[in-house]
Amino acid sequence: MRKRRKNIARSHEIGLIWSKRAPLGPYPLILVLDGLKASFNVGKIVRTANALGVREVFLVGIPPWDPVLARGALKATRTRTFAEMKDAIAALREEGYALYALHPRGEAAFGSVSFPEKTAFLVGHEEFGLSVDVADYPEITLIQVPQVGIVESLNVSVAASIAAYDYLRDRKLLGTAKPLVPAEKAPSPRAPRVRPLPVAPNLP
């Protein structure tokens, strides 16, 4: 068990190195994952972010997790890590992002909101929610996924996917970006240019 944890931590570290080399997603949308269950939801959301062209994923207070769960998406999805949510919020403020926190009883609802170009969705733990008191951040709008069933809330990875898709729908961005180039296939800026050798003439 100890060896497995060590291997996961090492794989996680390597995965984050790859993700810092990954290209930014084409759309100015950021998903902020606050204290989520690393082994279950994070990988799914990273894969969704890559598929939908999310610019970055912020990982806040998330312990090492096995990047295999993201099926390679971590290598192609730009991430930033933060120890505390307040630091992630400060970075978003500085970069001019509008903040929306997913909440089952939010005052706003997907499908009826016009999102600013630079939008960030804050996604908290399914049981405990965000690690900060939203009342301390008046710029954060609580937003919900409208539901008619008896289940109080959706799985957090499903809710994050709906949020990202609704942003693209509202901004009329669906299908407008070119496919991304994976980090491992992107040309290295330090790679030397190799000139082809001259071809020797055919001698009689």
Q: What is the pLDDT of residues 125-169, one digit of tens each?
A: 988 999 999 999 999 999 999 998 887 768 999 999 999 999 999
Tokens in use for 183? 């980090």
The confidence band for 16, taking pLDDT boundaries of 50, 70 and 90, is low
- Determine, yes or no, domain membership for 161: yes
- Determine, yes or no, domain membership for 101: yes
Q: Which neighbouring-strand residues pair with 141?
A: 100
- Determine, yes or no, domain membership for 199: no
Pairwise CA distance, residues 144 & 157, whole Å: 14
Distances in Å between the Cα of 146 and the Cα atoms of 108, 111, 121, 195 are: 9, 8, 16, 60
pLDDT tens-digit readout, 89-134: 999 999 999 999 999 989 999 999 999 999 999 999 988 999 999 9
Other beta carbons within 10 Å of 53: 21
- Determine, yes or no, domain membership for 55: yes
Q: Which one-letter amino acid corresponds to residue 106?
A: G
- Determine, yes or no, domain membership for 191: no
CB within 8 A of 72, min separation 6: which ones?
none
- Determine, yes or no, domain membership for 201: no
Q: Which residues in the chain belong to E strands, given as ranges? A: 27-34, 54-60, 79-82, 98-102, 108-109, 119-124, 140-144
- Determine, yes or no, domain membership for 135: yes
CATH code of the domain containing 89: 3.40.1280.10
Other beta carbons within 10 Å of 199: 6
Q: Is the pLDDT of residue 59 over 80?
A: yes
The residue range of the domain holding 163 is 2-185
Domains held by the chain: number: 1
- Determine, yes or no, domain membership for 138: yes
pLDDT tens-digit readout, 169-191: 999 998 887 776 555 554 444 44
